[in-house]
Amino acid sequence: MTSNLSTHRRSLLAGGAALAAAPAVAALAGGALAAPAAADQTLPDFAPVPPSALGPALNAQGYFVGRVERNLYWVTDGTYQAAFLTTRDGVVLFDAPPSIGNNLQRAIDQIAADNGVSNKVSHIVYSHHHADHLGASSLFGRDVVRIGHVETKRLLARDNDPTRPLPDVTFETRHALRVGGEHVDLAWHGTNHTPDNIYLHFPRHSALMLVDLVLPGWVPYNSFNLHEDVQGSLAAPTTALRYPWRHFIGGHMGRLGTRHDIRVYQQYVDDLIDGVTQSLTAIDPTPYFVRYGENSWAAVKTYQDAQVAFASDPVIRKYTGVLAAADVYTASSAFVLLEAIRLDLGVGSQVHP
């Protein structure tokens, strides 16, 4: 239930972001997107996005394709990312976000034409099972070898979504993918964002792909990226840094990442954890429970709102201008981290005398 809900929320909200980034879609929606907001609706203002968070401009079709290194390329629509590797035996595609959709093949065609190589997708590697990263997989037909973690296959079989065909090849901990003289190391190091999210290392291209953990230049998406295993997700960036690489493909937003991006993200999260840990003793719950009496949920909500504000306000100030959307989603991530250290680690738990 939780995984389905998370997938649905991500698809709806991220889909909305993709629409906002592609005004041409308004025409397909019959002009509805161009309708003015209701007169009594006031939308909030947010801090400007730092230029360092933005990627290259999109073309007229709404995508950008660029070289990562040698014959490894990446594609973005400004909100989602995929990657592909050209080989003498065809193209290996890594994820197939529906928001990029048919632009994936257009990007591959563009690179194939420029370099005189095949544009035929022979393999698709799934980073994890979520629809917002795989929902265009079916566009490439059945004559493609799909590869993913064993848990990815189980979850996709459960979800029964025809846009995400089941992987043909699965693995539990490691898989060495060799296609057309190229080599990619796939590995599962435990649960993080989802139970099946894997690391994709391109040793000959000095690149690592790890989706939905670090969004270079940006704070995490709503509610700490909707990570299903918060503790596993906190450990994942350290695991990522153990690999040798220069280029990071995070699956989201408009640019590639660097090792520095990972470290900035880690410091941001550490600052939030420090704040929520301090809030457990700095905020006295008594006034909230006195004020709301029998309405326990009102007392808990306002108490936790105060804790979240205590933890997130200084982090928002520190990272505004450093990470995009620090003022948008930091509070929701603070709440998730507050609950994680309380429930997972037992910090702040009190035993009744």
Tokens read off for 202: 């391109």
Closest CA to 312 of 278, 265, 272: 272
Per-residue confidence (pLDDT) for residue 31, from 0 to 100: 47
Looking at per-residue pLDDT, the higher value among 88 and 23 belongs to: 88
User: 80 forms bridges with which residues in the sheet?
Assistant: 252
Assess whether pLDDT exceeds 50 at residue 185. yes
Least confident of 2-16, 34-48, 122-136, 206-220: 2-16
Instruction: Give the whole-angstrom CA distance, residue 134 versus residue 98.
Output: 7
Residue 35: pLDDT band by 50, 70, 90 thresholds?
A: low
Residue 77 has pLDDT above 50, yes or no: yes
Please give the share of the chain, as a percent, with pLDDT higher than 70.
89
How, if at all, do strands 64-69 and 72-76 pair?
Answer: antiparallel
More confident residue, 242 or 19: 242
pLDDT for residue 36? 57
**Residue that wins the pLDDT comparison between 181 and 15:** 181
**For the segment 81-100, what is each residue's pLDDT rounded down to a tens digit?**
999 999 999 999 999 999 99
Q: Is the pLDDT of residue 16 over 90?
A: no
| Confidence at 37, pLDDT banded by 50, 70, 90 | low
pLDDT over threshold 50, residue 317: yes
Dump pLDDT digits (tens) for 53-66.
Answer: 999 999 999 999 99
Mean pLDDT over 190-203 rounds to 98
The predicted structure's pLDDT at residue 38: 60
Averaged pLDDT for residues 180-184: 96
The average pLDDT across 337-352 equals: 91
In the sheet that holds 182-187, the strands lie side by side as 174-179, 182-187, 199-202, 207-209, 247-249
With a pLDDT cut of 90, the percent of the chain lying above it is 86
Average pLDDT, the chain: 91
Residue 259: pLDDT above 90? yes
SS (HEC) of 127-144: CCCCHHHHCCHHHHCCCC
Note the pLDDT of residue 39: 54
* Stated pTM of the model: 0.89
Q: Report the chain's C-alpha Rg in angstroms.
A: 22
Lowest mean pLDDT among 22-31, 277-286, 328-337: 22-31
- What confidence tier does 114 reach under pLDDT thresholds 50, 70, 90? very high
Which of 33-42, 156-165, 236-245, 272-281 is predicted with the least confidence, judged by mean pLDDT?
33-42
Mean pLDDT for the stretch of residues 34-42: 62
Grade residue 225 by pLDDT with cuts at 50, 70 and 90: very high
The residues facing 93 across adjacent strands are 84, 124
User: Virtual CA dihedral for 300, 301, 302, 304, nearest 10 degrees?
Assistant: 80
Q: Which residue has 């846009």 as its token pair?
A: 163
Residue 7 pLDDT: 39
What pLDDT is recorded for position 147? 98
Half-sphere exposure of 243 (CA within 13 A, CB side): 28
